[in-house]
Amino acid sequence: AQTVTQSQPEMSVQEAETVTLSCTYDTSESNYYLFWYKQPPSRQMILVIRQEAYKQQNATENRFSVNFQKAAKSFSLKISDSQLGDTAMYFCAFMFADSNYQLIWGAGTKLIIKP
Amino acid sequence: DAGVIQSPRHEVTEMGQEVTLRCKPISGHNSLFWYRQTMMRGLELLIYFNNNVPIDDSGMPEDRFSAKMPNASFSTLKIQPSEPRDSAVYFCASSFKRNSPLHFGNGTRLTVT
């Protein structure tokens, strides 16, 4: 069975620092998608970034970037120049590429940005 | 684009009452999902619709839960009768097609007393 593991239940950093959230997953599939979602205190789930497993290039969205290591089954999220608004729960999720819709979710990492 | 719209934002009801949660997906999205989020179990997929047809309802806890999607722009999740253990945040999400990223609504926080 596919699993997604986020080993850091909670992290805190100072504003403007860089922080990396870890995510590992277990699958025997070669083609899949990986996502990071953010859930701020307002509770809406917001897509942060998406990575296709067949792409070697790491996805980037402004201050957010990933380090995708397919062989190691690792998908970490780096937040540069962290801002107070980045305070949220961050969830890593896995989805099969071939006609599947089921997202496998990690337990989440609570990130606190301190002023 | 208004995003996925859910109502109500909060619902407090007494045990035994019927609860109906509503969702309007993003226009043009043909996949719709209902999720439940609790501290203990995290995010759980309750039901998945594709082109208004329920494809997978294996996550629906029991017969007290039902979901409908009468057209492409509206879906409901009904709990009848409600129980305290149903207290959770219920999310609706939609996507353009299979494997596309999900776009979530703001959720409905349900409290059953």
Q: Which of A38, A48, A101 to mutate to test the interface with B (most CBs of B within 10 A)?
A: A101
- Segment A23-28 mean pLDDT: 94
> Does B25 contact chain A (CB < 8 Å)?
no
For the residues of B53-113, what is the DSSP string, one character each?
Answer: EEEE-TT--STTEEEEEEETTEEEEEESS--GGG-EEEEEEEESSTTSPPEE---EEEEE-
State what percent of residues in chain A have pLDDT above 90: 82
pLDDT tens column, A4-15? 999 999 999 999
Residues 6 or more apart whose CB falls under 8 angstroms from that of B73 comprise B24, B25, B27
Q: Does the structure show a pLDDT above 90 at A80?
A: yes
**Would you say the C-alpha torsion B83, B42, A35, A14 has a positive or negative sign?**
positive
pLDDT tens column, B23-65? 999 999 999 999 999 999 999 999 999 999 999 999 998 899 9
In whole angstroms, what is the distance from residue A28 CA to residue A107 CA? 21
Is the omega angle on the peptide bond into residue B8 within 30 degrees of 0, that is, cis? yes
**How far is the alpha carbon of A71 from chain B, nearest alpha carbon, in Å?**
22
Burial group, residue A66, by CB count within 10 angstroms (0-12, 13-18, 19+):
buried
From the list B42, B99, B109, the residue facing A95 with the nearest CB is B99
Helix, strand or coil, per DSSP, at residue B108: strand
Q: Which of A35, A45, A96 to mutate to test the interface with B (most CBs of B within 10 A)?
A: A45
In whole angstroms, what is the distance from residue A72 CA to residue A17 CA? 26
Q: Contact A111/A11 with Cβ under 8 angstroms?
A: yes
In whole angstroms, what is the distance from residue B91 CA to residue B16 CA? 22
Q: Does the structure show a pLDDT above 90 at A96?
A: no
Give contacts of B29 with chain A, Cβ < 8 Å: none
Give the model's pLDDT for residue A91.
97
In whole angstroms, what is the distance from residue B4 CA to residue B75 CA? 11
pLDDT band at B21 (very low <50, low <70, confident <90, very high): very high
> Does A46 contact chain B (CB < 8 Å)?
yes
Alpha carbon distances (Å) from B34 to A71, A104, B45, B80: 33, 15, 6, 16
pLDDT band at B81 (very low <50, low <70, confident <90, very high): very high
Mean pLDDT of chain B: 94
Give contacts of B103 with chain A, Cβ < 8 Å: 47
Q: Do A50 and B31 touch (CB under 8 A)?
A: no
Give the model's pLDDT for residue B99.
77
Q: Contact B79/B87 with Cβ under 8 angstroms?
A: no
> Does B103 contact chain A (CB < 8 Å)?
yes
**Would you say the C-alpha torsion B112, A42, A60, A9 has a positive or negative sign?**
negative
> Does A100 contact chain B (CB < 8 Å)?
yes
